[in-house]
Amino acid sequence: MLVALPPEKEYYSIGEVTRLTGVKPYILRYWEREFALLRPMRRTSGHRKFTRQDLEAIRRIRELLYDKRFTIEGAKKLIRLETKRGPEQAALELGESSAAVQTLKEVKSVLAEMLDSLRRSDVGVG
């Protein structure tokens, strides 16, 4: 039960986070103690205020624990590894007929012509 985030909000209460992620408040409080990447700010009254970054961390933790069936320790290790090496880059599979490949071929052709032109003008000067 993952709901799209309202674009205008900067901070979310624990109740809003529960509705958006489907994770109960007592579990969020537990994860806050267990996972270093989940550190919501606190108001002067002591209430937690979660940011979009916190929501993304909750979604990642939820995915690892609930969907991929990791243990808490396993999820912590994986998150530490991901943090060290950065996010995984998505593989791009471009076919020969894709617009991106065609554009790159055109750019390569134009650059080759420019280089050839510069070489010819350089030879004529000397």
User: Does the residue 1 lie in any domain?
Assistant: no
Global pTM reads 0.62
The residue range of the domain holding 112 is 95-126
* 60 domain residue, yes or no: yes
* Neighbour-count burial of 28, counting CB atoms closer than 10 A to its CB (0-12 exposed, 13-18 middle, 19+ buried): buried
One domain, residues 81 and 63: yes
The reply to whether 48 falls in a domain is yes
pLDDT at 76 (0 to 100): 95
Handedness of CA 54, 55, 61, 65 (dihedral sign): positive
- On whether both 60 and 122 belong to a single domain, the answer is no
- Give domain status of residue 3, yes or no: no
Q: What is the token pair recorded at 76?
A: 């912590």
One domain, residues 112 and 67 = no
Tell whether 55 and 112 lie within a shared domain: no
Same domain? For 105 and 43 the reply is: no
9 within a domain of the structure (yes/no): no
pLDDT, tens digit, 9 for 90 and up, residues 105-115: 899 999 999 99
pLDDT for the residue 104: 87
DSSP classification of residue 94: -
Q: Based on the domain organization, do 20 and 46 belong to the same domain?
A: yes
Whether residue 6 lies inside any domain: the answer is no
Same domain, residue pair 73 and 115: no
In terms of pLDDT, which residue wins out, 125 or 58?
Answer: 58
Cα 65 to Cα 97: distance, rounded to the nearest angstrom: 40
Do residues 104 and 59 share a domain?
A: no
Residue with tokens 């350089």: 122
